[in-house]
Amino acid sequence: MDYDRLLSQQVRALQPSGIRRFFDIAAEMEHVISLGVGEPDFKTPFTIRQAGIHSLERGKTWYTANAGLPELKTEITNYLRRRFTLEYDPKKEVVVTVGGSEAIDLCIRALIDPGDEVLVPEPCFVAYAPIAQLTHARVVPIATKEEDEFRLTAKALREHITPRTKLLIFPYPNNPTGAVMGRKDLEEIAAVLRETNVCVLSDEIYAELTYGGEKHVSIASIDGMHERTVLVGGFSKAYAMTGWRLGYVCAPAPITKQMLKIHQYAIMCSPTTSQYAGIVALRECDEEIEKMAKEYDMRRRLCIDGFNRIGLHCFPARGTFYVFPSIRSTGMSSEEFCQKLLYAKQVAVVPGSAFGAAGEGYIRVSYSYSVNHLVTALARIEEFLNELRAGKHE
């Protein structure tokens, strides 16, 4: 077989994830302490697990409606109203998806024609650009900077909009930087977008994980934005339900209608067991979310303080479970720093450059680990830095 001719050029051109490659090396080594994972260390709250088991015991093992169980869709809209003052029609504006990932895919595929421009603020989660490329979009990165606290500015946005711009990826709270966009920032972005026909894919998978008092504000709740926003949410990060593969997408009915077709043909419906568990999560687990968020907050402060103390300047991230310390002071590239750290001290962190060119000079550190784990890792990184200063690891 001539696989070169067989396989799609578009798919072959996709770059494999930079994070993955790095962690393949780490997996071969012994005694590695990872600060790499992108999922909660908590187990799914017990009541939610019970709800999944209970649904199986009752034999609820068939497909559900394509868009999801009506009861779950209603709970999703109740939740969004309760926590983020958002209004969606559960019958027409919600599709339950296989994690936030599928929701991102649906949105991009429903909107993009070949040649359309998709704006992607970087550094960001690695999946947006490849999915957009599969639809033959032109991906236009917008670099965000630490001096703006890694927020997208109205000015940068305006400079990148052209007549071909169709979609703005809006990934806040942000993986990997931990940046959040406050109400005032959102108003400024909205002021730019309201004059255009550009749609926003607001990936709010980390919405429940913001710290320091100010709660997450959805861009869809800003004046004039509801009609031009596709909201992506999910259970993975807030409820520690990554393995259940459950998310949702909410959007104006004309958009949902198109997304639902793709979902129908490609997926049929989200896992039934997970959907039943999701109903209980949304109904009963507000307190559990807050307990986990409080624990993350403590670790976040430990990490920010710890990195600054050992000489890696660390921007005070206010969302997600990542911090994004700068390694510029070492004079190394992100990739080089991570590799040397891994070989010298068996600590695995992710190079910032894996999240786009704007991430060069930084590393992503997940604090989805126990305090003891974090303290040990910080101590090893400190040793590494001291050795660097003493001229070792040249």
Partner 1 sequence: MELLRLLEENARLSLEQLAAMTGETKEAVAAQLDQYERDGVIRSYTALIDWEKTGRNYVSALIELKVTPKRDYGFEEIARTVMDFPEVETVYLMSGGYDLMLIVSGETFRDIALFVAHRLSPLESVLSTATHFVLRRYKERGVVICGDGEDDEREELL
CB crowding 18-48: b at 16 or more within 10 Å, else e:
bbeebbeebeeeeebbbbbebebbeebbeeb
Which CB, 84 or 315, lies closer to partner 1? 315
| In the complex, least distance from residue 385 CB atom to partner 1, rounded to whole angstroms | 16
| In the complex, least distance from residue 368 CB atom to partner 1, rounded to whole angstroms | 8
| In the complex, least distance from residue 126 CB atom to partner 1, rounded to whole angstroms | 5
| In the complex, least distance from residue 359 CB atom to partner 1, rounded to whole angstroms | 14
Q: Do the Cβ atoms of 281 and 49 come closer than 8 Å?
A: no
Which CB, 27 or 268, lies closer to partner 1? 27
SS3 208: coil
Terminal Cα distance for the chain, rounded: 47
Query: Which spans of this chain sit near partner 1 (rule: CB under 8 A)?
Result: 17, 19-20, 23, 34, 36-39, 41, 125-127, 298-299, 301-302, 304-306, 309, 350, 371-372, 375
| In the complex, least distance from residue 52 CB atom to partner 1, rounded to whole angstroms | 18
Which CB, 186 or 232, lies closer to partner 1? 232
Cis preceding-peptide flag for 171 (omega within 30 of 0): no
Helix ranges, the chain (H): 3-6, 9-12, 18-28, 46-57, 70-84, 99-111, 128-134, 154-160, 183-193, 253-266, 272-284, 286-310, 334-345, 371-389
Q: Do the Cβ atoms of 323 and 314 come closer than 8 Å?
A: yes
Nearest to 291 by CA among 234, 247, 240: 240
Residue count (the chain): 394
| In the complex, least distance from residue 208 CB atom to partner 1, rounded to whole angstroms | 19
Which CB, 43 or 215, lies closer to partner 1? 43
Which CB, 36 or 121, lies closer to partner 1? 36
Which CB, 211 or 248, lies closer to partner 1? 211
